[in-house]
Amino acid sequence: MIGTAEIVRNAFEAGVMIPAFNVPYLPMVEPVVRALVDTDSFGLVATARLEWYKFEAKGLKPVRDEFKKWEQPDYVRLHLDHVPVIDEDDVHVDFPPILQEAVDLGYGSIMVDGSRLDLDGNIAAAARATEIAHGAGVPCEAELGAVFGHEAGPPPPYEELFKSGRGFTDVDDAVRFVKESGCDWLSVAIGNIHGAVSTAMRDKAKVAARLNIDHLETLRTATEIPLVLHGGSGVQRDYVLEAMKHGIAKINIGTEIRQAYDKAFQQTRAVKDAQDAVYERTCYLLRDYFELAGKRAQVLGGG
């Protein structure tokens, strides 16, 4: 069976991308898988450490167990998203055991986030994570630059961030990072922001973010590996479609489908209604917003 690393590389070379859908609630897994199958798309179901503590995903094994009920390997694989070295509350995390547990449980790809460290520390953390991933035959994603939004409070004003380029991934640092860490995919900061996770902010609409495509192209040319766009919800559509042509081979989607789940559940208190809302929103994103419906064969190597 073709591995996740090859699938994302195929997307990179074809100028399309793999959506990774974060599932902060376990009942979201089934409608995401169903939407991928029904639109003939390929994607990832993803879980991040913060979703086990700040939402209701419960942990690595509960997500894996729920995924196993619905998995369709020709359409979807399981990905471990953000495992921080220093988390959004400035707590140091013992990340290697978490990554090791994930690969032991059968996750097809993993991510470490050392972006709150200095460059040397981030490289060292990514190298350790890559060692764990490659020891299990799976790819490792790392992050360089500051993708704001997971902080405890509100992020800085967006226009200030974008115009100044504050936190953008540095090209020279990226070249060194990829070479010395050995990571397979690199999450970059080019104007994208995470959905806020603080209680006061998590239900707010995200900023309509823009992307610096020229900077992205420079990063693609310099690193020559698949690049990742975190905070994909809310990025203006034209920028996302253009970013696919310039190295973004994976995009993370969380806020869009989480807020659909939350809104429906709050209205009816019925999990089935919340699942239906996730299914409809996921289909819309795949079919209409990202134009990924029907492109599964391209990333699986058959088209």
Q: Is the pLDDT of residue 62 over 90?
A: yes
Range of the domain at 229: 4-300
Closest CA to 251 of 78, 25, 43: 43
DSSP per-residue letters across 94-123: -HHHHHHHHHHHT-SEEEEE-TTS-HHHHH
Task: Kindly indicate the confidence band of residue 198, based on its pLDDT and cuts at 50, 70 and 90.
Answer: very low
Distance from first CA to last CA of the chain, Å, rounded? 16
Q: Which two tokens stand for residue 176?
A: 């060194």
Distance between CA atoms of residues 64 and 2, nearest Å: 20
Closest CA to 242 of 47, 14, 6, 15: 15
81 an active-site residue?
A: yes
Q: Which two tokens stand for residue 226?
A: 């698949």
Mean pLDDT of 47-55: 93
Confidence (pLDDT) at 218:
97
Q: Which of 174-183, 198-207, 214-223 has the lowest mean pLDDT?
A: 198-207
Residue 189 C-alpha from the chain's centroid: 13
Distance between CA atoms of residues 88 and 150, nearest Å: 6
- This model's pTM is above 0.85: yes
Q: How many C-beta atoms surround the C-beta of residue 72 within 10 A? A: 12
Confidence (pLDDT) at 215:
95
Q: What is the CATH number of the domain that holds 223?
A: 3.20.20.70
Q: Which two tokens stand for residue 58?
A: 């419960």
Closest CA to 192 of 250, 153, 245: 250
29-38 and 271-284 helices, crossing angle to 10°: 40
Task: Kindly indicate the confidence band of residue 195, based on its pLDDT and cuts at 50, 70 and 90.
Answer: low
Q: Provide, rounded to the nearest whole percent, the portion of the chain with pLDDT above 90.
A: 80
Task: Kindly indicate the confidence band of residue 224, based on its pLDDT and cuts at 50, 70 and 90.
Answer: very high
Task: Kindly indicate the confidence band of residue 225, based on its pLDDT and cuts at 50, 70 and 90.
Answer: very high
Q: Could you report the per-residue pLDDT of 23-41, keeping only the tens digit for each?
A: 999 999 999 999 999 999 9
Distance between CA atoms of residues 290 and 249, nearest Å: 12
User: How far are the Cα atoms of 17, 117, 251, 253 from residue 2, in angstroms, in the given order?
Assistant: 16, 34, 20, 23
Mean pLDDT of 278-289: 97
Q: Which two tokens stand for residue 16?
A: 């399309």
Number of domains in the chain: 1
Q: Could you report the per-residue pLDDT of 134-190, keeping only the tens digit for each?
A: 999 999 999 998 765 554 556 667 777 777 677 799 999 999 999 999 999 999 999
- State the catalytic residue, choosing from 38, 40, 81, 238: 81
Q: How many C-beta atoms surround the C-beta of residue 62 within 10 A? A: 14
Confidence (pLDDT) at 302:
61
